[in-house]
Amino acid sequence: MRDTSGTKKSGKHAASRSSRLSIAIALSASTLLSVVGSAHPAPAKDPLPADIPDYQAALDAVKSADVRNAVCRFLRTPVPAGGADEPVVKIPETAEPCQGLAVFTIKDPVARNEITPGFVAGTARPLPTEAIKLTQLVSSLSATVNGRNVTVMLAPSQGGGWHLAAVREGDSDATYAGKATVGTLVFIEPQIHGWYRLKLNTVEPLNDQARQGLDGQASVSLSDYQKLVKARYADKLPGSAYDTTGYSSGYGPRRGADDASSSTLLLAGGSSAALVLAGGAVVLHRRRRASTH
């Protein structure tokens, strides 16, 4: 009788090799398709900023009809030429405030960070998490309208979300706030309107006011910057004599539109003209800047 065991074993080995080859070809094809597919990936949405709470609510706010109409009403109203002592003006209601204006969009908001009172007082450590806090979000327009650039300012709402706080003349806040990059933090020293970039523990100036705030230095450590602002403002914090006389944080006292409805839009003149929501805004009107020296 003929021995066929060797033939059977050989056949099994051949079948096994063929099976492994088929699997290898299939895997190679799958890999090739993956590579080809990755050359034209499906467009992905940019992730929402993780450091800004309720950012989707902020996006919804700047894209809302109410905010857009408020911006249009501001742009349609001539800026009063007077100074800080000019009375606050109520902006009239308009049925179609954006009609006839150039087409524009409101850009996605960015973080407006400020130095904290504890950092200024010297009670907080010179660490980014204790020195800087998010206070508002700011947006600018995609185009100049009526020869004007403006900034849309959002404030956090109680219970979460964001609401319109003000529309201000000029777009410097949004421009500087937008200079933050991966690994850096941009913040403002609001008393002098100085904008800075914080990288690790090094503070660098972004505008002339900030350069003056650093006494002309190209950069300082966060610890040395704390010494500078403590010397400038520690005696002017809330509760100080400076504050109780109406000049907290280097600004003059509020004038009398605070009792108006929270839906009332007001306009104050001068170089810092701003449309504001009386009663619900962080900044109610243009304030008189006081010397901090």
Confidence check: pLDDT of 70 > 70:
yes
**Confidence at residue 105, expressed as pLDDT on a 0 to 100 scale:** 96
Residue 220 has pLDDT above 90, yes or no: yes
Q: What is the pLDDT of residue 259?
A: 34
Inform me whether the pLDDT recorded for 162 exceeds 60. yes
Segments making up each domain of the chain, as ranges = 8-44, 55-277
pTM to 2 decimal places: 0.70
Q: Are 229 and 196 in contact (CB under 8 A)?
A: no
